[in-house]
Each structure stands twice: as C-alpha cells, then as structure tokens.
C-alpha cells in the first residue's frame, strides 16, 4: 500500500533542492513543484519535527505587531489568513478572540484604534469585524475574573500547524516532488555551475545534483549555510533564536473562545481552546543558544504563564493541572532588538547567485505568511529558470480541502461534513468529526469499505485505528509512534501516561508491517 517513493528511487538530478521540512520548506517545495520544476525536499528528521509543530497554532495577522509599526507584515498576514482559510478549511477555521480591558494597561482608545486598523488593513470577507463587549453578559466572561467587566472581541483563525506542513509536502509530492524525511544534508559543493549534494551518511549516503538550493533549515539555517561556505565567500545569515513555550491544561470552564491576557511587561499570552477538552496557554519569548531539539520549558516560564493566567482567569491553575508542555525555537531575523519579544516576526530572503549555482537562505517568518514567503523565494530563482510560470498556490486547495461550495469556507466544510456523515452511518459523529478535521475529503480513504469501527482494526486509543496508522505511513511519511501520536494527530494528549506508553509500543511494533 505504501505510496511514498523509496529513497533508492530518488532522482540523480533536480532543479531545486529544498533543505528543511518545516512550514517554509514544505511551502517552497509545493510552490516550486506546481510551477513545473523538478524538486527534492530533504528533511533531517520528521516533517514539522521542530519549530513548525511548536507554535501557538494560529493563522493571524498579529495584532500586537501593530505596536511595532509592522504594518506591511500585518497587512500581508491578514490577506493570507483569507487565502489559507479557503485552501484548507478542514484544518483551519475561524476563532473568536476576546481581549479584556485592564485598567493601567493599554487604554480602551488604544485597543479600539488597533482593532480598527486590524479590521481594515486587508479585506476580510470571511470574518466578522471587531466590537466592544460586556463581559458581564458575554459568554467569555464566565471564564474570566469577575473584576473584568468589559473588553473587545475580534476574529482570527486556528490551524493544526503540523498537519499544515504535511499537507504542503503532500501537495509538493502530488506535483512531482520527491520528499525525503530522516535524510540530512551532510555536504555541498559547487561544480560546473551546479550543486553537488551529499545526503545521509555511511550505508545510507546518496548524492544528488541540483541547479539551485533553498536553505529553509529554520533554527539550523546558519548551520546549513555553513555547508555552503566552502563554495561561497559570504558570512552565514544572522539570526536570533528565541524560545517560545506553551502549557496545556484541562479545558477551563467557559473558555470556549480564545482569550488574550495582558502582562504588565507589555507582552500578551493566549489561552486557546484546544483539542475539544483542553486549553493551550502561551507563549513565552526567551533568547536561546542551545541545540533547538533540546529546547524545553523552564520552571520560570511555567511560573510566568501560570501567573498571567491566574491574574485573569476565574479558575486558579497550578503546576498539577498541566497535562502537556512544549517548546519551540523561532529562527528570527536579528534586527538588534534588546528584548526577545521585540524581535521582528517578519522574514528575509538572501539569494547568492555567485558561480551560477544559486542558494536562497530563508530567515525568519511565521506560519501565516509561509505561502507568500514561498512564492517570493521561488521567484528569486527566475534568472535560473526563466521559463518558470507564475505562482499558482493562492487558489489551489491543499489535500483534503476540496469540500466544495461557493460560500464561506467554514460553511462549505460544515455542509460537506453532513454529507460525509450520511455516507458513514456506522460511526458516531464525534469520531467522524475527528477524522474530518484531520483529513478532510481524504477521510473517505481511511473509511473505505468499513461499516463499523471494528472494520478499522485495532484501536490504539482515543479512536486511533490500524487503518488510520496505515494511512499515515502510506501517505504522510509517519515512521514512528511519535510521528503518529503527536504530530500527525494529537491522540497522545487524550491518553494517560500509561496508555501513551502502551499505544507507542503497539504502533512501533505495527508500523514496519503496515
């Protein structure tokens, strides 16, 4: 059943080698492949294995970036919010945000002015405008301290960040790209105006020739750039590594909207509804200098997040309430800001065309603007590929997102889901909704021929079946239990620690034979 090509069948020569399988790398690979270029993506670990699965899981303009006068970034992000909502309505959906007003912090006039700009910097046909609210009567007030009496609401979008990466990698593969995971780039050199690249080490070592390279290594962009320095007389890109951490607690009573909680230091954190039964709280901003894969939340960060939450929420939280915590390292463009939270979230592209073998380094960026970043990165390669057509990703839906309809993306998804449920009456709606949110129209591939849950094989926990794991291996590069339980799905979050271990052992035992 496996549809992912074996590394043994990889091409010897490509037009573009993309290094890094986070959101930027996957987006660039999809863009380049849909323009007809021969593309290979090489990822040292798993897709979305680092920063891109450790975000706050939002598609948003970045309201707080208006305070940094980052109008171009906010405008671009708001426009992309609409594009992405239409591209993937199964994993991206609207979410209301509630911002309580607090005396002594940002004034009502400042908040109202910022939200007015947020409403009007870009068209928002799919989302309502902001408004003032009375927290004594608004449902969100049930989660907040009774001392908070008024505030504002506005709309942004939620996203399953790791799945967004995988769907872009799938789109790249569907357009002809080769996508390799667990395949590090170990050496590079320029020879006869092309890149000669070594992938892997030892018995797994392979070689590929590429006319152009895109370095989208995220926190490792400088390390990857170092591989090119033997062929380039140029310094590595300057980046600032900033760690962001989150905690997850059982769903806070009444917190069914996203809450924005202000801290006296000027930062804000989110308390977001997460996976039906939980609340996600974050993020922090700390400068970081270690290995990005070793990033973990510190006791000080936990205290910081709990202190802000307890300042605003009616329910008091302690460390005992935390059921999961995660950290990621953002590779930001080093603009010289003194505080980590003030470093720009904008992106920068460096293109070195010396020697006729271009390399593009991707620095910074955010999930919301990945598609535009990808478009601009591939456009930089036009001198090498003059016949390359324009970008076509703005209107192309991602795998599973073809739910049909001509109306609001969320309404189109809802209508499709009703038809999907009617085709699978042997399954409860909760299970069907879970599959629909993960896979969209491709959920039919998992349920094909099944009349009841028993037809899907072993239940590894929380409804995760053998048939679903088989699909993830065959179509989504899942190779380990961690890939399945945490990145392709969030099943582990719904299991006890003992159940997680049992499920992981069973999945790791089953994967080789699927």
For the chain, which residues make up each domain, given as ranges?
7-51+163-238+345-379, 94-157+240-333, 409-513
Segment 370-390 shows an average pLDDT of: 97
Distance CA 469, CA 478 (A): 8
Distance CA 149, CA 100 (A): 8
Sequential DSSP letters for 143-167: GB-TT--EEEEEEEEEE-HHHHHHH
Most distant CA pair in the chain: distance in Å? 71
Segment 224-230 shows an average pLDDT of: 81
Instruction: Look at the block and give the residue holding tokens 């970081």.
Output: 288
Distance CA 386, CA 368 (A): 29
Query: In angstroms, how far is CA 124 from the centroid of its own chain?
Result: 22
Distance CA 388, CA 383 (A): 10
**Of residues 491 and 230, which shows the higher confidence score?**
491
The beta-strand segments (E) located in 58-204 are 58-59, 92-100, 131-134, 150-159, 178-180, 185-191, 194-199
Using the 8-state DSSP alphabet, how is residue 376 labeled? H
Distance CA 388, CA 213 (A): 16
Segment 448-464 shows an average pLDDT of: 98
Task: Provide, rounded to the nearest whole percent, the portion of the chain with pLDDT above 90.
Answer: 87
pLDDT band per the 50, 70, 90 thresholds, residue 7: low
CB atoms within 10 A of CB 513: 7
Q: Tens of pLDDT along 119-177?
A: 999 999 999 999 999 999 999 999 999 999 999 999 999 999 999 999 999 999 999 99
pLDDT on residue 1: 43
| Alpha helical stretches, state H, 399-496 | 409-423, 429-439, 443-447, 466-476, 481-482
For residue 11, give the H/E element and its range.
none
Domain spanning 94-157+240-333: CATH superfamily: D-Amino Acid Oxidase, subunit A, domain 2 (3.30.9.10)
pLDDT band per the 50, 70, 90 thresholds, residue 334: confident
Sequential DSSP letters for 222-290: HHHHHHHTTT--SPPPPEEEEEEEEEEEEPPTT--SEEEEE-TTS-EEEEEEETTTEEEEE---EE--S
pLDDT on residue 165: 98
pLDDT band per the 50, 70, 90 thresholds, residue 3: low
Q: Tens of pLDDT along 165-180?
A: 999 999 999 999 999 9
The residue among 180, 178, 220, 190 whose CA lies nearest residue 16 is 178
pLDDT on residue 421: 98
Structure-token pair, residue 159: 């996203």
Q: Tens of pLDDT along 413-430?
A: 999 999 999 999 999 999
CB atoms within 10 A of CB 412: 18
The answer, yes or no, to whether residue 457 has pLDDT greater than 70, is yes
The answer, yes or no, to whether residue 435 has pLDDT greater than 70, is yes
Judge whether 360 and 213 are in contact, CB under 8 Å. yes
pLDDT on residue 344: 75
Rg (CA), the chain: 23
**What CATH number belongs to 7-51+163-238+345-379?**
3.50.50.60
pLDDT on residue 24: 98
CATH architecture of 409-513: Orthogonal Bundle (1.10)
pLDDT band per the 50, 70, 90 thresholds, residue 338: low
Highest-confidence segment of 64-73, 82-91, 99-108, 219-228: 82-91
Segment 362-387 shows an average pLDDT of: 97
Structure-token pair, residue 126: 């799919």
pLDDT on residue 2: 44
pLDDT on residue 31: 98
Using the 8-state DSSP alphabet, how is residue 175 labeled? T
The residue among 24, 374, 57 whose CA lies nearest residue 244 is 57
3-state secondary structure of 385: coil
Distance CA 403, CA 423 (A): 15
Instruction: Look at the block and give the residue holding tokens 């392979």.
Output: 206
Structure-token pair, residue 457: 């094989």
Sequential DSSP letters for 27-65: HHHHHHHHTT--EEEE-SSSTT-SGGGSS--EE---GGG
Q: Tens of pLDDT along 287-311?
A: 999 999 999 999 999 999 999 999 9
The residue among 189, 194, 224, 211 whose CA lies nearest residue 361 is 224
Query: Sign of torsion, CA 328 329 331 332?
Result: positive
The residue among 16, 85, 30 whose CA lies nearest residue 373 is 30
The residue among 456, 410, 312, 500 whose CA lies nearest residue 86 is 410
Listed in sequence order, the residues at least 6 apart from 177 whose beta carbon sits closer than 8 Å to its beta carbon are: 29, 30, 32, 33, 39, 40, 41
Residues pairing with 499 in the sheet: none
Q: Tens of pLDDT along 231-282?
A: 555 667 788 999 999 999 999 999 999 999 998 888 999 999 999 999 999 9
| Main-chain dihedrals φ then ψ at residue 409, nearest 5 degrees | -55, -40
Residues pairing with 331 in the sheet: 241
């Amino acid at each position: 059943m496996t549809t992912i090509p074996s590394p043994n069948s990889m091409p010897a020569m490509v037009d573009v080698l993309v290094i890094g399988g986070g959101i930027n790398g996957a987006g660039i690979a999809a863009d380049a492949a849909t323009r007809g270029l021969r593309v290979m993506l090489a990822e040292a670990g798993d897709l979305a294995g680092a920063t891109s699965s450790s975000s706050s899981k939002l598609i948003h303009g970045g309201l707080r970036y208006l305070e940094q006068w980052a109008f171009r970034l906010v405008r671009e992000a708001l426009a992309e919010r609409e594009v992405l909502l239409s591209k993937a309505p199964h994993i991206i959906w609207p979410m209301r945000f509630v911002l309580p007003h607090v005396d002594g912090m940002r004034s009502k006039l400042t908040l109202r002015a910022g939200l007015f700009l947020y409403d009007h910097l870009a068209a928002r046909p799919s989302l309502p405008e902001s408004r003032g609210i009375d927290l004594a009567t608004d449902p969100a007030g049930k989660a907040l301290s009774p001392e908070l009496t008024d505030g504002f609401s506005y709309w942004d979008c939620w996203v399953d960040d790791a799945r967004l990466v995988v769907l872009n990698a799938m789109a790249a593969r569907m357009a002809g790209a080769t996508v390799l995971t667990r395949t590090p780039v170990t050496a590079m050199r320029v020879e006869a105006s092309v890149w000669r690249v070594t992938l892997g080490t030892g018995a797994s070592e392979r070689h590929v020739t590429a006319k152009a390279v895109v370095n989208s290594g995220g926190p490792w962009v400088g390390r990857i750039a170092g591989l090119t320095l033997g062929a380039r007389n140029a310094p590595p890109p300057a980046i600032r590594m900033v760690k962001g951490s989150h905690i997850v607690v059982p769903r806070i009573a009444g917190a069914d909207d996203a809450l924005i909680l202000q801290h006296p230091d000027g930062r804000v954190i989110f308390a977001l509804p997460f996976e039906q039964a939980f609340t996600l709280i974050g993020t922090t901003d700390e400068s970081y200098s270690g290995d990005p894969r070793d990033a973990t939340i510190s006791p000080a960060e936990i205290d910081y997040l709990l202190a802000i939450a307890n300042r605003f929420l009616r329910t008091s939280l302690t460390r005992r309430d935390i059921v999961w915590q995660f950290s990621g390292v953002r590779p930001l463009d080093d603009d010289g800001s003194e505080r980590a939270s003030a470093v720009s979230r904008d992106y920068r592209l460096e293109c070195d065309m010396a020697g006729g073998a271009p390399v593009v380094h991707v620095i910074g960026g955010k999930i919301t603007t990945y598609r535009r970043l990808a478009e601009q990165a591939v456009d930089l390669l036009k001198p090498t590929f003059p016949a390359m057509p324009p970008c076509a990703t703005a209107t192309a839906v991602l795998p599973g997102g073809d739910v049909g309809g001509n109306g609001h993306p969320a309404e189109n998804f809802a209508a499709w889901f009703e038809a999907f449920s009617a085709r699978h009456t042997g399954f409860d709606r909760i299970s069907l909704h879970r599959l629909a949110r993960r896979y969209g129209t491709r959920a039919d591939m998992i349920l094909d021929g099944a009349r009841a849950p028993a037809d899907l094989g072993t239940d590894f926990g929380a409804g995760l079946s053998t048939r679903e794991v088989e699909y993830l291996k065959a179509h989504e590069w899942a190779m380990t239990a961690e890939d399945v339980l945490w990145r392709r799905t969030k099943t582990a979050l719904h299991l006890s620690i003992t159940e997680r271990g049992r499920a992981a052992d069973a999945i790791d035992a089953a994967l080789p034979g699927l």
